[in-house]
Amino acid sequence: MLHIIGFFCTFAASIKIITHLPYAMTLFVIFKLLGSLALLMFGMKSMSEALQKMAGPQLRHVLGAMTTNRFTGMLTGMSVTAAVQSSTATTLMTVSFVNAGLLTLVQAISVIMGANIGTTLTAWIMSLGMGFNISDFVYPAFFLGIILIYMKKRRIVGDFLFGVAFLFLGLATLKETGFSLVDSPESKEAITAFFAEYSNGGFMVNLLFLVIGTILTLCVQSSAAIMAITMMLCSTGVLQIEQGVMLVLGENVGTTITSNIVALSANTQARRAAFAHLSFNAVGVFWVLLLLDPFFKMVCNISGFDPSMTPDALDFAIKASVALATFHSAFNITNTALLIWFVPQIEKFVCMVIKPKSSKEEEDFRLHFITAGIMKTPELSVLEAQKEIISFSERIQRMFGMVQELLVEKDHNKFSKLLSRIEKYENIADNMEISIADYLDQVSDAHLSDETKAKIRAMLREISEVESIGDSCYHMAQTINSKVQGKKEHFTEEQYKNLHAMMGLTDQALTQMNQLMSGRKDYFDVYKCYNIETEINNYRDQLKSQNIIDINNHKYTYGIGTIYMDLVNACEKLGDYVVNVVEARTGTKMHS
């Protein structure tokens, strides 16, 4: 605690000395630092979103397919993160896949390990920016980017160039402002006093900087931004390299908090995947602290950095930033190389810590995949909405199964409970349609690719049609209830047999729909669904004709025949809604 108080007191004193400038100038410098940091973060976000727009669907398929074992999973996470320049996006996407049941926990752990390595590329990009004056290349990138943005087919490439330009402009401004702070003799004197206080602080000071790095990353929600600040501080000599590497370790812990926050409202497996990310990063930090001196010396030898160098040295800034990037890469690569052999043990540990929920989640209205979240990208948001629609359609098929049970239930109490559940599912369906539509409406406000816009339009149609299926199920339950309440007549054995056959065909259609929703539409045979719909229509016509004959032959009354045909027609109408969902999902037109 004394170290922490001393740190902040000394830092405040040094700032006081540095800011002997006029008050207005001091404010200008502070806001310039904050503004350059904002530019950096905005550039990273824009660049990552543009890359995900260009290759979002393909990257999602890669995540789902290239995870046959822990090593391919690790390579997949590394390559995807290097491509989209955001470990947060990869981690959140992985957690979402676990939540949807598309990845196992073991696969997710290996992918997130790879993401830790892939994100180190960002640090190397930043160290490149610290090495030479990159602002000369920024303005041509802005000029070319604005031209491409106004070209419809190249707009995403323009967004990417703007993101890169903002990133390097922010980095250049951050570096320029940082160096301007140490130009005066007063500043150098303050920095010397600062170093004298903390140069030999030992383990407690190291721990202090680790905690600061963790807290800053948690607050800013961007390890890249804190890495840029760390590089600026070390390259200007404001911060010693030993303290800089502790901030880097803290950043590796702080960045895991994002996925854990998002996973709080997800299912058990997703929360376990997020906690695994925190666990193996924390284990890595632990063993590095134990071996800090030899590990740091090894990094210095690899990067060619001499810890005894002074900030006045000609190439100090370049070598300091390269040393930090090397430390970041060496830490994550070594940690992954060590812990990838213990993935099954990590899985057992997180399963032991995070217990499954005891409540029946499907009986409550709760969106499983759409979360408030932070630092979401449109591509990831669309993925979450798609998983929610899959859950919605599966829930509706369960609701239809309850209708089938209701038809044959003879016990009054069980009948009432089943009817109550169907009514509850109907309310859930209404709420899910509104919630998913509202979420998609918020996503559509973002700058989206044409493909993503078309996908959102299709998804809005899907949820409308799925909700209509729920209405049909509820209508059928009410029809069955009205027959039971009448207590005068019952269906004949032949009617029950025909209704079971009709409902069986309808359930097949729902199964086909859910297979399409949860799989890749490229591999889906649309004609299977079309053939079932044709069979339903033909069977409906056959039963309609037979119903008239049976009523005329006095096999049953007109009233029971009407209820009977209401159920048959409801099944046929439900089949039409299924076809509409399939058309929306595949982009094909099955009805003339």
Q: Which fold has domain 363-586?
A: Methane Monooxygenase Hydroxylase; Chain G, domain 1 (1.20.58)
Q: Of the segments 59-63, 361-365, 499-503, which one has the largest average pLDDT value? A: 499-503
Beta carbons within 10 angstroms of residue 227's beta carbon: 28
Give pLDDT tens digits for 104-147.
788 888 888 888 888 788 778 777 766 556 666 778 888 888 88
Give residue 521's pLDDT band: very low, low, confident or very high (50, 70, 90). low
Residue with tokens 């709420």: 431
Beta carbons within 10 angstroms of residue 461's beta carbon: 15
User: Is the C-alpha dihedral spanning 266, 269, 270, 272 positive or negative?
Assistant: positive
For residue 113, give the amino acid letter.
M
Position 235 scores a pLDDT of 77
Q: What are phi and psi of 134, to 5 degrees?
A: -90, -10
Give pLDDT tens digits for 261-293.
767 766 677 788 888 888 988 999 999 888 888
CA angle 83–80–378, rounded 5-degree value: 80
The answer, yes or no, to whether residue 541 has pLDDT greater than 90, is yes
Give residue 487's pLDDT band: very low, low, confident or very high (50, 70, 90). low
Kindly state the average pLDDT of the residues 76-105. 70
- Residue 390, both tokens: 């899959």
Q: What are phi and psi of 310, to 5 degrees?
A: -100, 155
Give residue 162's pLDDT band: very low, low, confident or very high (50, 70, 90). confident
What DSSP assignment string belongs to 341-397? GGHHHHHHHHHHHSPPP-S-GGGS---SS----SS--HHHHHHHHHHHHHHHHHHHH
Position 576 scores a pLDDT of 92
The answer, yes or no, to whether residue 251 has pLDDT greater than 90, is no
Give pLDDT tens digits for 559-575.
899 999 999 999 999 99
**Largest interatomic CA distance in the chain:** 110
* Helix (H), strand (E), coil (C) string for 200-245: CCCHHHHHHHHHHHHHHHHHHCCHHHHHHHHHHHHHHCCCCHHHHH
Nearest to residue 55, comparing CAs of 449, 519, 587, 460?
A: 449
Q: Of the segments 77-81, 132-136, 362-366, 546-550, which one has the largest average pLDDT value? A: 546-550
| Integer Cα distance of 125 and 121 in angstroms | 6
| Integer Cα distance of 131 and 305 in angstroms | 14
| Integer Cα distance of 236 and 311 in angstroms | 7
Kindly state the average pLDDT of the residues 345-374. 67
Domain with CATH 1.20.58.220 in the chain: 363-586
| Integer Cα distance of 205 and 377 in angstroms | 37
User: Average model confidence (pLDDT) for the chain?
Assistant: 78
User: Collapsing DSSP states into helix, strand and coil, what is residue 373?
Assistant: coil
| Integer Cα distance of 244 and 221 in angstroms | 19
CA distances from 153 to 148, 201, 350, 451, 456 (A): 8, 57, 46, 11, 19
| Integer Cα distance of 335 and 227 in angstroms | 19
Cβ 39 vs Cβ 163: under 8 Å: no
* Helix (H), strand (E), coil (C) string for 452-472: HHHHHHHHHHHHHHHHHHHHH
Position 256 scores a pLDDT of 82
Of the chain, the end-to-end C-alpha distance in Å amounts to 76
Position 362 scores a pLDDT of 45
| Integer Cα distance of 423 and 417 in angstroms | 10
| Integer Cα distance of 380 and 51 in angstroms | 12
| Integer Cα distance of 461 and 581 in angstroms | 7
Label residue 525 left, alpha or beta by phi (over 0 means left) and psi (-120 to 50 means alpha): beta
Q: Is the pTM of this model over 0.85?
A: no
Position 361 scores a pLDDT of 47
- Core vs surface per residue 77-86: b (16+ CB within 10 A) or e: bbbbbbbbbb
Position 343 scores a pLDDT of 86
Residue with tokens 């209405």: 471
Give pLDDT tens digits for 2-37.
444 454 444 444 444 444 545 555 566 667 777 777
Higher pLDDT, 476 or 215: 476
Cβ 113 vs Cβ 336: under 8 Å: yes
> Residues for the chain: how many in total?
592
Residue with tokens 């299926």: 469
Rg of the chain (C-alpha set): 31
Q: What are phi and psi of 104, to 5 degrees?
A: -80, 170
